[in-house]
Amino acid sequence: MSRGQKRRKPEEANRVDRAFRFVDDRLGISHFTRKALNKIFPDHWSFMIGEIAMYCLVILIVTGIYLTFFFVPATKEVVYQGRYAPLRGVEMSQAYASTLDISFNVRAGLVMRQMHHWAALVFIAAIVVHLCRVFFTGAFRRPRELNWMVGLTLLVLAIGNGFFGYSLLDDLLSGTGVRVAYSIALAVPVAGTWLAFLFFGGEFPNTEFITRFYILHVLIVPALIVGLLSAHLAIVWRQKHTQFKGPGRTEGNIVGSRLWPQYAAKSAALFLLVAAVLALLGGLAQINPVWLYGPYKATQAAAATSGSQPDWYMGWVDGALRIMPAWEIRAFGHTVANPFFPGAVMPGVTFGVLYLWPFLERRFTGDREPHNLLDRPRDAPFRTALGAATLAFYGILLLAGGNDILAGIFRIAPEVITNTFRVLIFAVPLAVFVVTRGVCRGLARDDLHPTRPPPGGLVVRTATGGFETVDGPDDGRPSEPVVDAWKPPPVDSG
Amino acid sequence: MEPRPTPTGDDPRLPAPVAERRIAVAFVASTLAALGLAGVYVAGGQPQAEGALLFVALSGLGVGAVQWARQIDDGPTAGERGELAGSEADQEAVVEEVADDVADLGRRRLLSRLLLGAVGALGLAALFPIRSLGPSPGHSLERTAWRPGRRLVDSEGHRVRPDTLTVGGTITVFPEGAVQAGDSQVVLIRLAAGRNRPRRGRETWAPDGNIAYSKICTHVGCPVGLYQEDTHELVCPCHQSTFDVLDGARPRFGPATRGLPQLPLAVDGEGFLVAQSDFTEPVGPGFWNRS
Amino acid sequence: MTGPVAVFGLLVGLAVGAAGVAGAAGQTAPTASTATTVAPPPEVVAGRSLYEISCTSCHGADGRGTAQGPSLASTGPASADFFLSTGRMPLDRPRAQSERKRPAFSADEIALLTAYVASLGPGPPIPDVDPGRGDLAAGYQLYADNCASCHSSAGAGGALGHAVYAPPLNRATALQVAEAIRIGPGAMPVFGPDTFDDHEVDSIVRYVRYLHDPRDEGGLDLGHLGPLSEGLVAWAVGLLGVLLAARWIGTQD
CATH number of the domain bearing residue A174: 1.20.810.10
Question: E strand or H helix at A286, and its extent?
Answer: none
Distance, in Å, from the CA atom of B155 to the CA atom of B158, rounded to the nearest integer, reads 8
Q: For residue C12, what are the CA distances in angstroms to A56, A132, B22, B137, C22? A: 75, 75, 81, 76, 15
Is residue A255 included in any domain, yes or no? yes
> Looking at residue A430, what is its pLDDT?
97
Q: Which residue of A has its CA nearest to B226?
A: A306
Q: Are residues A445 and A339 in the same domain?
A: no
> Looking at residue B195, what is its pLDDT?
87
- Label residue A300 by pLDDT band (50, 70, 90): low
Choose the closest CB to B225 out of C149, C188, C218.
C149
Distance, in Å, from the CA atom of B206 to the CA atom of B162, rounded to the nearest integer, reads 10
Gyration radius from chain C CA atoms? 25
The residue among B195, B171, B178, B183 whose CA lies nearest residue B245 is B195
Q: Are residues A393 and A307 in the same domain?
A: no
Q: Are residues A90 and A104 in the same domain?
A: yes
Long-range CB pairs of C6-10 (<8 Å, 24+ gap) are C6/C50, C6/C109, C9/C49, C9/C50, C9/C53, C10/C46, C10/C49, C10/C50
* Cβ–Cβ below 8 Å for A143 and B4: no
Of the two residues A100 and A472, the one the predictor is more confident about is A100
Is residue A89 included in any domain, yes or no? yes
B58 shares contact with chain C (CB less than 8 Å): no
Distance, in Å, from the CA atom of B259 to the CA atom of B276, rounded to the nearest integer, reads 19
Furthest-apart CA pair in chain B: how many Å?
A: 99
Check whether C23 has a pLDDT greater than 70.
Answer: no
B55 shares contact with chain C (CB less than 8 Å): no
Size of interface A-C (CB pairs under 8 A): 218
- Label residue A166 by pLDDT band (50, 70, 90): very high
**SS3 sequence, chain B?**
CCCCCCCCCCCCCCCHHHHHHHHHHHHHHHHHHHHHHHHHHHCCCCHHHHHHHHHHHHHHHHHHHHHHHHHHCCCCEEEECCCCCCCHHHHHHHHHHHHHHHHHHHHCHHHHHHHHHHHHHHHHHHHHHHHHHCCCCCCHHHCCCCCCCCEEECCCCCECCCCCCCCCCEEEEEECCCCCCCCCCEEEEECCCCCCCCCCCCCCCCHHHEEEEECECCCCCCECCEEECCCCEEECCCCCCEEEHHHCCEEEECCCCCCCCEECEEECCCCCEEECCCCCCCCCCCCCCCC
The residue among C187, C184, C190 whose CA lies nearest residue C160 is C187
Distance, in Å, from the CA atom of B50 to the CA atom of B52, rounded to the nearest integer, reads 6
Q: Are residues A337 and A192 in the same domain?
A: yes
- Label residue B225 by pLDDT band (50, 70, 90): confident
CA distance B185 to chain A (A): 7
Q: Are residues A148 and A169 in the same domain?
A: yes
> Looking at residue A351, what is its pLDDT?
95
Cis preceding-peptide flag for C41 (omega within 30 of 0):
no
Taking only residues 32 to 61 of chain C, the set having a beta carbon closer than 8 angstroms to any beta carbon of chain B reads none
Q: Are residues A330 and A396 in the same domain?
A: no
Is residue A26 included in any domain, yes or no? no
Q: Are residues A326 and A391 in the same domain?
A: no
The predicted model gives A365-387 an average pLDDT of: 91
Phi, psi at residue B171, to the nearest 5°?
Answer: -140, 170
Check whether C16 has a pLDDT greater than 70.
Answer: no
Phi, psi at residue A370, to the nearest 5°?
Answer: -70, 150
Long-range CB pairs of A348-352 (<8 Å, 24+ gap) are A350/A390, A350/A393, A350/A394, A351/A152, A351/A156
The residue length of chain A stands at 494
Residue to substitute from C151, C162, C242, interface B, most B β-carbons within 10 A: C162
> Looking at residue A457, what is its pLDDT?
64
The predicted model gives A291-302 an average pLDDT of: 75
CA distance A434 to chain B (A): 31
Average confidence score pLDDT of chain B: 89
The predicted model gives A221-247 an average pLDDT of: 94
Is residue A475 included in any domain, yes or no? no
Cis preceding-peptide flag for A205 (omega within 30 of 0):
yes
Choose the closest CB to A246 out of C145, C161, C253.
C253
The residue among C201, C184, C185 whose CA lies nearest residue C193 is C201
Q: Are residues A331 and A272 in the same domain?
A: yes
Choice among A285-289, B30-34, B160-164, C51-55 with the minimum mean pLDDT: C51-55
> Looking at residue A476, what is its pLDDT?
47
> Looking at residue B6, what is its pLDDT?
47
Tens of pLDDT, residue by residue over B181-224, are 888 999 999 999 888 888 888 999 999 999 999 999 999 999 99
Q: Are residues A194 and A325 in the same domain?
A: yes
The predicted model gives A172-194 an average pLDDT of: 92
CA angle A344, A350, A355 (to 5 degrees): 115
Distance, in Å, from the CA atom of B16 to the CA atom of A124, rounded to the nearest integer, reads 39
For a pLDDT cut of 90, what percent of chain B falls above it? 65
Distance, in Å, from the CA atom of C11 to the CA atom of C32, rounded to the nearest integer, reads 36
Full residue range of the structural domain in which residue A132 is found: 42-370
Which stretch, A3-7, A305-309, B145-149, C46-50, has highest mean pLDDT? Answer: B145-149
Q: Are residues A430 and A331 in the same domain?
A: no
* Cβ–Cβ below 8 Å for A307 and C226: yes
- Label residue B12 by pLDDT band (50, 70, 90): low
Choose the closest CB to B55 out of A179, A192, A276.
A276
C251 shares contact with chain B (CB less than 8 Å): yes
Tens of pLDDT, residue by residue over A42-79, are 989 999 999 999 999 999 999 999 999 999 999 899 99
> Looking at residue A479, what is its pLDDT?
43
Total structural domains in chain A?
2
Average confidence score pLDDT of chain C: 83
CA distance A31 to chain C (A): 29
Choice among A27-41, A50-64, B68-82 with the minimum mean pLDDT: B68-82
Phi, psi at residue C169, to the nearest 5°?
Answer: -105, 10
Q: For residue A414, what are the CA distances in angstroms to A317, B122, B145? A: 18, 54, 34
B71 shares contact with chain A (CB less than 8 Å): no
Residues of B in contact with A189 (CB under 8 A): 288
Chain mean position to CA C250: 58
Is residue A432 included in any domain, yes or no? yes
Is residue A60 included in any domain, yes or no? yes
What single letter denotes the amino acid at residue B46? Q
Q: Are residues A115 and A174 in the same domain?
A: yes
B281 shares contact with chain C (CB less than 8 Å): no
For a pLDDT cut of 70, what percent of chain A falls above it? 89
Please return the burial class of B132, using the count of CB atoms within 10 Å of its CB with bins 0-12, 13-18 and 19+: exposed
Is residue A331 included in any domain, yes or no? yes
* Cβ–Cβ below 8 Å for A45 and C246: yes
Gyration radius from chain A CA atoms? 28
Taking only residues 164 to 223 of chain C, the set having a beta carbon closer than 8 angstroms to any beta carbon of chain B reads 164, 166, 184, 186-192, 194-195, 217-219
DSSP state of A87: G
Size of interface B-C (CB pairs under 8 A): 81
Domain end (from A307, A339, A370)? A370
Q: Which chains border A (3 or more CB–CB pairs < 8 Å)? A: B, C
Question: E strand or H helix at A229, and its extent?
Answer: helix A221-239
Distance, in Å, from the CA atom of A394 to the CA atom of A315, rounded to the nearest integer, reads 9
Beta strand A243-244 with A373-374: parallel, antiparallel or unpaired? parallel
For a pLDDT cut of 90, what percent of chain C falls above it? 38
* Cβ–Cβ below 8 Å for B69 and A254: no
Distance, in Å, from the CA atom of A396 to the CA atom of B95, rounded to the nearest integer, reads 50
Instruction: Give Cβ neighbours of residue B80 (< 8 Å, ≥ 6 apart).
Output: A252, A253, A254, A493
- Label residue A356 by pLDDT band (50, 70, 90): very high
Tens of pLDDT, residue by residue over C198-209, are 999 999 999 999
Residues of B in contact with A490 (CB under 8 A): 1, 78
* Cβ–Cβ below 8 Å for C163 and A47: no
Q: Which residue of C has its CA nearest to B5?
A: C251
Of the two residues A246 and B266, the one the predictor is more confident about is B266
Distance, in Å, from the CA atom of A434 to the CA atom of A336, rounded to the nearest integer, reads 35
Q: Are residues A298 and A421 in the same domain?
A: no
- Label residue C26 by pLDDT band (50, 70, 90): very low
Of the two residues C202 and B79, the one the predictor is more confident about is C202
Phi, psi at residue A240, to the nearest 5°?
Answer: 65, 145
What is the dihedral angle through the alpha carbons of C117, C121, C126, C128, rounded to the nearest 10 degrees?
160
Choose the closest CB to B229 out of C146, C188, C192.
C188
> Looking at residue A477, what is its pLDDT?
44
Tens of pLDDT, residue by residue over C184-237, are 998 899 999 989 999 999 999 999 999 999 988 899 988 888 899 999 999 999
Choice among A452-461, B70-79, B112-121 with the minimum mean pLDDT: A452-461
Domain end (from A344, A370, A396)? A370
- Note the ipTM here: 0.89
Is residue A37 included in any domain, yes or no? no
Q: How many CB atoms lie within 10 A of CB B44?
A: 7
Domain end (from A342, A370, A398)? A370
Residues of C in contact with A46 (CB under 8 A): 246, 250
